[in-house]
Amino acid sequence: MSRLFLGLISGTSADGIDAALVEFPDDADATAGLRLRAACTVPWATEIRERLVALGQGGEPESLDELGRLDVRVARAFADAALALLDEAGTVPAQVAAIGSHGQTVRHRPHGEAPFTMQLGDGSVIAERTGIATVADFRRRDAAAGGHGAPLVPAFHAALLRSPAEDRAVLNLGGIGNYTLLPRAGAPGSDGPAQAVRGFDTGPANALLDAWCLRHSGHAFDADGGFAASGRVDEALLARLLEEPWFALPPPRSTGREQFHLGWLQARLVGGESPADVQATLLELTATTVADALRAQQPRTARVMACGGGVRNPVLMRRIAAHLPGMSLESTADHGLDPDFVEAMAFAWLARETLAGRPGNLPAVTGARAPRVLGVVHPA
């Protein structure tokens, strides 16, 4: 089998398709020593992105026909992103063992009598368009086993970033914030067995910040946190936002744009707030919920390794660091992982695990009954 796998994901922010070409070690069971050969982000066509965002925050499709067409259009865009990356890397499809495609989440309902999670991007279309075997639909098997189907990246974090010397956490600052908690890995002489890796969502991160920024500045995101820095935190508004019952839920927990969107924010405004003050308050909401969650779940964390688009917001990073005194806050780049492409790399890894017949979920993270081999394989 080729050592090359390609990962594709479009996250909660739906700001583009991240593609990562990953080279793994010769040892079929090894992960340490993997290498990111090439990566890129391909923006969505405006029309498609608008529909994905609307569906993701609870909007209804116009018809089943529209949903079916969108499923195919998303898959074509994913396939084209993969082919563009391969062209950039000077790699032909025959050299790639498989694509791991997360797809685009448009609805996530992990609770209730018939829980489900829905990602668009038909794996058959990707396989047909690229000529590469494609593993897709990773989340639904975990959900069928009683889990949330999310987050799935913690197993990848654990394989690469766990340490026997200290408790660590990986913080993904995407559209939604989430943690992977990596307690020290059974160091010699430690008292008792190693604790389980855990992971969970913390609440809104870039999705709300970007949406509010776009509405009031016309910019898709708050470059360097400048809009937030120009305002002041509205403590009364922050208190109302923190009253959201979701923040009190224990892990495992997951969420998305259908929970935290501009309508959710609007319902908690009293009117007359300065847009810059609201932006500053949303940034503080992210920093506060991220810090509160870590102190509650792994208070002895020594090192927090951050990835995702929020790493490029220095104001947000400073506020998180201020809320976590005594903990080192770093980028995953300091540990050899490009913070922009950690999740895309993870889905390349998950495709490799699926083809090897190995489970890709962690029940302590998702709440599933047991480990499961994830995804559906669409042959080339």
Give 52-73 pLDDT, tens digit per residue.
999 988 899 999 999 999 999 9
Confirm if 206 and 16 have CB atoms less than 8 A apart: no
Residue 1: its pLDDT value, please? 64
Where does residue 16 fall: left (phi above 0), alpha (psi -120 to 50 degrees), or beta otherwise?
left
Give the tens place of pLDDT for each residue, 370-380. 999 999 999 99
Helices (H), ranges, the chain: 46-56, 64-89, 123-130, 139-144, 154-161, 206-217, 226-229, 235-242, 262-266, 275-297, 314-323, 342-355, 363-366
Rounded to two decimals, the pTM is 0.92
Domain 154-335 has CATH 3.30.420.40: yes
Q: Is 144 helix (H, G, I), strand (E, B) or coil?
A: helix
The rounded distance, in Å, linking the Cα atoms of 311 and 300 is: 22
- Give the mean model confidence (pLDDT) for residues 127-137: 98
- Give the mean model confidence (pLDDT) for residues 113-129: 97
32: confidence class by pLDDT, cuts 50, 70, 90: confident
Residue 186: its pLDDT value, please? 66
Domain 4-150+341-378 has CATH 3.20.10.10: no
Residue 335: its pLDDT value, please? 95
Give the tens place of pLDDT for each residue, 133-167. 999 999 999 999 999 999 999 999 999 999 999 99
Residue 189: its pLDDT value, please? 44
For residue 314, say if its preceding peptide bond is cis, omega within 30 degrees of 0: no
Q: Which amino acid, one-letter code, is at 75?
A: A
Q: Where are the domains of the chain?
A: 4-150+341-378, 154-335
Q: Which is it for the CA torsion 52, 56, 60, 63, positive or negative?
A: positive
Q: Which amino acid, one-letter code, is at 41?
A: T
Confirm if 309 and 335 have CB atoms less than 8 A apart: no
Same fold, 4-150+341-378 and 154-335: yes
